[in-house]
Amino acid sequence: MVKLIASLLLLAVVAQAYGDFKCALSKQESKSFVRELQREREEHQLKEKQNLSHEGQDQECKGSLAVPEITKDWVDMKDACIKGMRNQIQEEINASYQYLAMGAYFSRDTVNRPGFAEHFFKAAKEEREHGSKLVEYLSMRGQLTEGVSDLINVPTVAKQEWTDGAAALSDALDLEIKVTKSIRKLIQTCENKPYNHYHLVDYLTGVYLEEQLHGQRELAGKLTTLKKMMDTNGELGEFLFDKTL
């Protein structure tokens, strides 16, 4: 008898957990990260229009399992630094879209520079990864407990055409300089007293700044070579340089 009750109880617990699990899964189906965020934002706006409260929205999938109360003392990032991180995420996403536009431009049949196109598409992918790594970092620090609807906005891309490869590489270098400055500012914010977020500052310095500085040097070198080739050989120089990318 006791055994029977115990197994019934176990079954009920498993079924409940499975329900919550399925619910969580169905919320994560979409493949694209940015698309998912955008969809979430649209849903949120729709709900707001229908004047449903945030709580009502969460209720859908909450089931009957109460969120256990555990200490939040480990969640200790400070506001200015969090705000800076969120800004940096958007900065990386913006850069990603700008590179995407560059890749698309050099892919045009009327432009046809496959080397440049591939180079910029790769850069776009890397920037998006930089953005999502920072989202992961915030999550690791317990800072993604609420809706992420306002975390990422799809930017409008400022520029979509370039006179030649050199103009695009020059813009890419400017973009990287802007991102580098933004990371440096974020580091300064987060290392300030009383925050002293050593771990994050170490990560931003060792991983993000490291990549920025090497990336800038690489772009500067490429731009120099390309300009030399174009000075002596014009379009042929650009055509040949494209093969090296």
Ligand X SMILES: *[C@@H]1O[C@H](CO)[C@@H](O)[C@H](O)[C@H]1NC(C)=O
- Residue in 90, 99, 41, 87 with CA at minimum distance from that of residue 190: 87
Q: Please say whether the beta carbons of 74 and 143 come within 8 A.
A: no
φ, ψ dihedrals at 62, nearest 5° = -75, -30
- CA dist 207 and 184 (Å) reads 12
- Residue in 86, 91, 80 with CA at minimum distance from that of residue 196: 80
Q: Is 212 a known ligand-binding residue? A: yes
Each residue 83-102 as x (binds Fe ion by CB under 5 A) or -, in order, gives ---------x----------
Residue 240, CB half-sphere, CA atoms under 13 Å: how many? 13
State which of residues 156, 193, 194, 232 lies at the interface with ligand X (CB under 6 A): 156
- CA dist 164 and 173 (Å) reads 15
Each residue 35-64 as x (binds ligand X by CB under 6 A) or -, in order, gives ----------------x-------------
Each residue 184-223 as x (binds ligand X by CB under 6 A) or -, in order, gives ----------------------------------------
Q: Is 199 a known ligand-binding residue? A: no
Give, in order, the Cα–Cα distances in Å from 35 to each of 30, 32, 41, 152, 207.
8, 5, 10, 10, 27
Q: What does 87 interact with, of Fe ion, ligand X, none (CB < 5 to 8 A by kind)?
A: ligand X
Q: Please say whether the beta carbons of 216 and 173 come within 8 A.
A: yes
CB of 119 to ligand X, least distance (A): 22
Nearer Cβ to Fe ion (97/241):
97
By the rule CB under 5 A, 130 interacts with Fe ion: yes
Window of 65-73, 88-96, 134-142, 205-213 that interacts with ligand X by CB under 6 A:
88-96
Sites of contact with ligand X (CB under 6 A): 51, 87, 90-91, 94, 155-156
Q: Indicate the annotated binding residues for Fe cation.
A: 92, 127, 130, 176, 212
Sites of contact with Fe ion (CB under 5 A): 92, 127, 130
